[in-house]
């Protein structure tokens, strides 16, 4: 009798997987195989958050960097003894260790309940949603069914992540390659309402913007002085400042209000307001937190679909830092 029930359960899972097809994600992917996965991840994320606030921006940024390089496949989680994995690329060296640790701890919890079932990629996607909620942002349902990537190379990173000096056309082109619209791009940029940046990423706006104006004229003068105080010339490269100078530990629409007031940290932030093509959306998000929250939730779900691996395209890692043999 017990054997019959097990066979029936296995057949149901196989039928569900076949019906979903390659590349398709669904919210209830683990309803039979690991029904408590989201609760397990949420508990691990909350525990880590209680230890350090950096858990929030670090996990959210890790998810974005992972998806934009080779797709949402947790390849950025991989460690290489040769220092040539994705995380070792120059553009990823600033990823905070607390993001990696959050996913590793969540994976350990899930493995204890459902060994060999849930991918690190799915755990990262759930954790990214959970940290947004912990910071006061919108909740949304996470689609699941990703497999973990089989490749992680530092050489694949360059040219696949937005640069702080990008203009609107460059931002739109990069996001469009990942099936994300301009509104998605602007909404996801709103994640800069959390976290911090090292001074070197924006120092040119303060000291060497152009021959006629060392300081970027689009910067609010008081904000520019505040940045100079926090990031003097030849500052220690480990020094970082908050991306949002007003509410740095709250997920809200103040980031867009900052842009309207000339307080965007990166050129790629401020251009969203100074370019007429994107300015109306920035003004809308600055005036309506509900519009921003709705657009952000939609964009996060779309981001989570970027070049996902399913079926034989990937695997389920038992250790997120090591690709299966």
Q: Find all residues with CB under 8 Å of 132, minimum gap 6, and list them.
A: 56, 60, 138, 139, 251, 296, 300
Q: What is the C-alpha separation between 201 and 193, in angstroms, rounded?
A: 16
Rounded-to-integer distance, Cα 95 and Cα 55, Å: 11
Tokens of 30: 């683990």
The total of other beta-carbon atoms located within 10 Å of residue 171's CB is 21
Q: Which two tokens stand for residue 33?
A: 């195989």
Place of tokens 């309803």: 31
Tell me which DSSP letter residue 56 carries: H
* Contact of 44 with 123, CB cutoff 8 Å: no
User: What is the spatial distance between Cα 62 and Cα 93, in angstroms, rounded to a whole number?
Assistant: 11
Report the largest interatomic distance among the alpha carbons of the chain, rounded to a whole angstrom: 83
What is the C-alpha separation between 131 and 74, in angstroms, rounded? 17
Q: Measured between alpha carbons, how far is 256 from 262 in angstroms, rounded to an integer?
A: 10
Catalytic residue list: 65
What whole-number distance in Å separates Cα of residue 52 and Cα of residue 36?
25
* Rounded distance between C-alpha atoms, residue 130 and residue 134, angstroms: 6
């Amino acid at each position: 009798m017990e054997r019959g029930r097990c066979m029936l359960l296995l057949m149901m899972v196989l039928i569900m997987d076949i019906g979903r097809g390659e590349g398709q994600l669904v919210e209830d992917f683990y309803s039979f195989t690991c029904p408590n996965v989201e609760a397990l991840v949420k508990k691990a994320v909350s525990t880590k958050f209680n230890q350090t606030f950096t858990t929030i921006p670090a996990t959210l940024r890790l998810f974005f960097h992972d998806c934009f390089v080779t797709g949402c496949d947790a390849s950025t989680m991989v460690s290489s003894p040769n220092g040539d994995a994705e995380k070792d690329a120059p553009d990823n060296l600033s990823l905070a260790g607390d993001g990696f640790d959050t996913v590793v701890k969540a994976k350990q919890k899930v493995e204890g309940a459902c060994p060999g079932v849930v991918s690190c990629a799915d755990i990262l996607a759930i954790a990214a949603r959970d940290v947004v909620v912990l910071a006061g942002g919108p909740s949304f349902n996470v689609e699941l069914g990703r497999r973990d990537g089989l490749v992680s190379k530092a050489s694949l990173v360059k040219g696949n992540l937005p640069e702080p000096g990008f203009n609107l056309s460059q931002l739109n082109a990069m996001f469009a390659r990942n099936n994300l619209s301009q509104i998605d791009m602007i909404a996801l940029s709103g994640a800069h309402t959390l976290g911090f940046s090292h001074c070197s990423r924006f120092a040119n706006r303060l000291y060497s913007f152009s021959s006629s104006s060392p300081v970027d004229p689009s910067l609010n003068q008081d904000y520019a002085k505040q940045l100079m105080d926090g990031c003097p010339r030849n500052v220690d490269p480990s020094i970082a400042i908050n991306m949002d100078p007003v509410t740095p530990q709250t997920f809200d629409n103040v980031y867009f209000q900052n842009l309207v007031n000339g307080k965007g940290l990166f050129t790629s932030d401020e251009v969203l307001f100074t370019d007429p093509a994107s300015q109306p959306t920035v003004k809308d998000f600055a005036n309506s937190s509900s519009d921003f929250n709705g657009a952000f939730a939609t964009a996060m779900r779309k981001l989570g679909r970027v070049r996902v691996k399913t079926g034989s395209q990937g695997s389920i890692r038992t250790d997120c830092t090591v690709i299966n043999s």
